[in-house]
Amino acid sequence: MKLSKFLSSRTGKRFYNLCYCWGACLVILGAVFKIAHMPYDNLFLMIGLFTEVFIFFISGFDEPAREYKWERVFPLLNDKNANINPHTGVSDTLMTEKYIQQLKRLENNVCKLNETYEAQIKGMTEHAKSLNEMNSEELKKETEKMAAYIELLNKQYSQMLDAMNVKTGK
């Protein structure tokens, strides 16, 4: 009885954990020594295995964890047909219905967004076409104006050259 009390105490649990870990380390170290054919390989392997035997022997005196009868506290656990989600406490059917409602709302929102997007694209396309037509008409007018100015400039330049040629006598 004293051993089981010691093992259930905090110090006993720490001692048990320490022995368990050290024993496992010694077994692994002994196996490594054995594989590598190092000196004292059998000694380390035997010490580790005996430590593990000691730990397994002691663990027989350790009191198992207490199991509670949760069915008494939560009678719903006895009902095999209960559709209650343990995390939320809400029926799975109700959660599914709410999920479906949310999906329908999402679908409506996505449809509205698509309609808005299509309307914006249509408006932008029409705007781009009108800008293109305006720009091409304006560009045509400006090009014609510039051609007229260049023609006038060429005539004046030609007259200047003629006047210069007359003066120089060429």
Which amino acid, 166?
Answer: V
| Angle formed by the axes of helices 10-35 and 41-59, nearest 10° | 150
CA distance between the termini of the chain:
138
Per domain, the residue ranges of the chain are 2-62, 141-170
3-37 pLDDT, tens digit each: 778 878 899 889 888 888 888 888 898 899 989 99
Pick from 17, 23, 18, 16: nearest CA to 45? 23
Low-confidence ranges of the chain (pLDDT < 70): 1, 76-77, 79-92, 168-170
Which pTM does this prediction carry?
0.36
Alpha carbon distance 88, 100 (integer Å): 18
Alpha carbon distance 150, 140 (integer Å): 15
Q: Which residue has the tokens 């694209």?
A: 121
Please tell me whether residue 42 adopts helix, strand or coil conformation: helix
Count other C-beta atoms under 10 Å from residue 26's C-beta: 20
Count other C-beta atoms under 10 Å from residue 7's C-beta: 17
Is 92 in contact with 84 (CB distance < 8 Å)? yes
Q: What pLDDT score was predicted for residue 35?
A: 92
